[in-house]
């Protein structure tokens, strides 16, 4: 009998866990975001953005469908910042929790993993935090992204610098080797060349790198006018820190991810001054949409009221809220919860929101909304400096050398 008992153990699993059916008048969404691991912070932004939008929509009565009002509920799982977990959790959300729609995970890599699963089950996903175009080059029909694609991230910064200074000639690009940053770096380098600049340094370093002094030493030797970094917050902090250590002082330094996050200044203190960052959204932007908050400012005020721990609002929060809004509008347009019909409604969507225009190209990514550029300035604040039509302040240029600062 001993051995039978032993072998029966796996079978025990058969009886483990069932989920309660959801109430009749809710539409269930599912999301697997990173709450632990490498991108836990960004995952938290994502969740907070989703939650805020859902609460707002629910407070205003929810989604109206055929005269009936539906509340939204979101089921979350933690993907531990591992994209293979994302696949598993999306399966769980669709199959076990029977969610109707999927909100995207944080990051391009997990979004890339989630996309084929949604495709497999024909469940629409709108994601807000995966802008690598590789996700959208596979022909998947059920994945949409509200944000601008990766290769546009640093384009504005190059335009900005060139408008300020006709004498810039050289640029160095270093990027993290992962799908999103690779595209950012590639896009930036291509655009720089297009504008006639000389890309004197272009290298990718492996994810999780803890020391970039070797790369910066090489870059210092090339003495470029502009240094562009494509990575995540960790990388941009490291690059600024070590650039100061090594006395790397270009005329402008900018990053795809990092400067827009409040942690950037918290970590670097005054060393963060003059650094540029690209951003999908800032509260200084001047949009006027048809969503509950209408304007970026309106969104920011309302969000901070609900989430007092936030000072500056990271764009990940806003774009996550935007994804929820896009879903709501598409569902209402479709007039049904049928996934295929909703999918078509999403594809046809063209709305103006606090977040900007949301419209998807044939691949499913929002190429219609421009990126903005922010700069951290010595007065301790962060200003939107580009495009000039929405700039709060003029960009400070060039960046003074490290040892020439007070």
Partner 1 sequence: MKRGTQVAAFALLLALLVVLPRFVSSYKLLTYTRFLILALMAQGWNFIGGYTGYAAFGNVAYFGIGAYTTGLLMIGKWHVPFFPALAAGALLSALVAILLGLPILRLKGHYFAIATLGVAEALSQVADTWDSVTDGSTGIDLPLKTEGEFFYYTALALVIGGLALTWAFSRSKLGNGCVAIREDQDAARMLGINTTFFKVIAYALSAVFAALAGGLTAYQNIHVTPGDFFRIDYTLQMIIATIIGGAGTVLGPVLGAAVYQLLSTYVWSKFLELHPTVLGLIIVLFIVFLPRGLMTVLARKRQRGERPFRMSDLLANVRAHRVT
Partner 2 sequence: MGGAELGQIFVNALLLSGILALVALGFSLVWGIMNIVNLAHGAFIVLGAYITFFLHELLGVDPFLSIPIAMLALFTLGWGIQLGLINQVIRAPLLATFLLTFGLELLIVNLINYFFKADLRSVTTAYSGTGFTLGPVRVPYIRLGALAVSLVLVAGLAWYLKMTRVGRAIRATGMDLDAARLTGVKVATIYAATFAIGAGMAGAAGSLLSMIVPFDPTLGGTYTQRAFAICVLGGLGNVANVVIGAAIFAFVDVFVGARLPSLSRAVTFGILVLLLILRPQGIAGKTV
Minimum distance from CB of 347 to partner 1 (Å)? 19
Nearer CB in complex with partner 1: 12/305: 12
Minimum distance from CB of 42 to partner 1 (Å)? 15
310 binds partner 2 (CB under 8 A): no
C-alpha 254/C-alpha 188 separation (Å) is 11
Query: For the chain, first and last CA: distance in Å?
Result: 80
Minimum distance from CB of 196 to partner 2 (Å)? 26
Nearer CB in complex with partner 1: 80/283: 80
Instruction: Decide which of partner 2, partner 1, none touches 78; Cβ closer than 5 to 8 Å per partner kind.
Output: partner 1
Nearer CB in complex with partner 1: 13/305: 13
Nearer CB in complex with partner 2: 3/269: 269
Select from 19, 25, 37, 163 the one that contacts partner 2 (CB under 8 A).
37
Structure token pair of residue 31: 């999301």
Among the residue ranges 23-31, 138-146, 264-272, 383-391, the one whose residues contact partner 2 (CB under 8 A): 264-272
266 binds partner 2 (CB under 8 A): yes
Instruction: Decide which of partner 1, partner 2, none touches 245; Cβ closer than 5 to 8 Å per partner kind.
Output: partner 2
Nearer CB in complex with partner 1: 177/367: 177
Query: How far lies 93's CA from each of 83, 102, 119, 178, in Å?
Result: 15, 8, 14, 26
- DSSP class per residue in 284-341: T-----SSTT-SHHHHHHHHHHH-TT-SSPPHHHHHHHHHHHHHHHHHHHHTS--HHH
C-alpha 309/C-alpha 307 separation (Å) is 6
Contacts with partner 2 in 67-106 (CB under 8 A)?
Answer: 81
Select from 55, 193, 208, 380 the one that contacts partner 2 (CB under 8 A).
208
The answer to whether residues 55 and 329 touch, using CB atoms and an 8 Å cutoff, is no
Minimum distance from CB of 149 to partner 1 (Å)? 14
Instruction: Decide which of partner 1, partner 2, none touches 76; Cβ closer than 5 to 8 Å per partner kind.
Output: partner 1
Structure token pair of residue 267: 């970590």
Nearer CB in complex with partner 2: 210/362: 210
- Strands 198-205 and 170-176 come out as parallel
Minimum distance from CB of 391 to partner 2 (Å)? 28
Instruction: Decide which of partner 2, partner 1, none touches 238; Cβ closer than 5 to 8 Å per partner kind.
Output: partner 2
Q: What are phi and psi of 38, to 5 degrees?
A: -55, -45
Instruction: Decide which of partner 1, partner 2, none touches 2; Cβ closer than 5 to 8 Å per partner kind.
Output: partner 1
- CB-based contacts of 2-7 (< 8 A; 24+ apart in sequence): none
DSSP H/E element including 383: strand 382-386
Minimum distance from CB of 344 to partner 2 (Å)? 38
233 binds partner 2 (CB under 8 A): yes
Taking the CA atoms of 317, 320, 324 and 330 in sequence, report the sign of the dihedral they define: positive
| Other CB atoms within 10 A of residue 335 CB | 13
Instruction: Decide which of partner 2, partner 1, none touches 11; Cβ closer than 5 to 8 Å per partner kind.
Output: partner 1
Instruction: Decide which of partner 1, partner 2, none touches 402; Cβ closer than 5 to 8 Å per partner kind.
Output: partner 2
Query: How far lies 334's CA from each of 26, 65, 331, 342, in Å?
Result: 17, 9, 5, 5
Rounded to 5°, angle at Cα 148 from 146 and 153:
150
Residue (of 96, 2, 60, 27) closest to 331 by Cα position = 27
SS3 state at 33: strand
Q: What are phi and psi of 10, to 5 degrees?
A: -60, -35
Site for partner 2, rule CB under 8 A: 36-41, 43-44, 81, 174, 177, 203-206, 208-215, 217-218, 220-221, 233-234, 237-238, 241, 244-247, 263, 266-269, 271, 402
């Amino acid at each position: 009998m001993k051995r039978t008992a032993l072998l029966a153990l796996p079978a025990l699993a058969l009886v483990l866990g069932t989920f309660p059916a959801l109430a009749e008048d809710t539409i269930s969404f599912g999301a697997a975001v990173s709450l632990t691991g490498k991108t836990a912070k960004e995952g938290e932004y994502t969740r907070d953005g989703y939650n805020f939008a859902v609460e707002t929509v629910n407070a205003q009565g929810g989604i109206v469908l055929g005269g009936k009002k539906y509340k939204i509920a979101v089921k979350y799982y933690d993907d531990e910042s591992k994209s293979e977990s994302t696949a598993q959790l999306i399966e769980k959300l669709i199959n076990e929790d029977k969610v109707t729609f999927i909100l995207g995970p944080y990051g391009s890599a997990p979004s890339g993993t989630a996309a084929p699963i949604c495709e497999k089950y024909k469940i629409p996903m709108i994601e807000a935090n995966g802008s690598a175009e590789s996700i959208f080059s596979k022909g998947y029909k059920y994945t949409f992204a509200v944000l601008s694609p990766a290769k546009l991230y640093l384009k504005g910064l190059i335009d900005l610098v060139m408008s300020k200074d006709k004498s810039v000639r050289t640029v160095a690009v270093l990027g993290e080797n992962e799908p999103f940053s690779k595209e950012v770096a590639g896009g930036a380098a291509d655009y720089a060349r297009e504008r006639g600049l000389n890309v004197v340094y272009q290298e990718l370093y492996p994810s999780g790198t803890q020391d970039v002094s070797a790369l910066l030493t090489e870059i210092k030797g090339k003495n470029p006018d502009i240094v562009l970094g494509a990575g995540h917050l960790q990388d941009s902090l490291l690059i600024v820190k070590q650039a100061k250590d090594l006395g790397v002082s270009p005329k402008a330094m900018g990053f795809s991810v990092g400067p827009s996050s409040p942690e950037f200044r918290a970590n670097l203190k005054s060393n963060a001054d003059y650094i540029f960052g690209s951003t999908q959204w800032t509260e200084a932007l001047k949009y006027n949409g048809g969503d509950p908050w209408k304007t970026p400012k309106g969104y920011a005020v309302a969000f901070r009221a609900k989430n007092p721990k936030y000072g500056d609002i990271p764009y990940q929060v806003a774009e996550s809220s935007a994804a929820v809004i896009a879903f709501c509008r598409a569902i209402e347009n479709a007039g049904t919860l049928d996934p295929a019909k909703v999918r078509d409604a999403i594809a046809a969507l063209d709305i103006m929101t606090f977040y900007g225009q949301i419209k998807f190209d044939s691949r499913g990514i929002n190429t219609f909304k421009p990126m903005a550029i922010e700069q951290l300035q010595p007065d301790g604040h962060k200003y939107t400096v580009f495009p000039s039509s929405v700039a709060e302040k003029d960009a400070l240029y060039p960046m003074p050398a490290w040892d020439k600062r007070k």
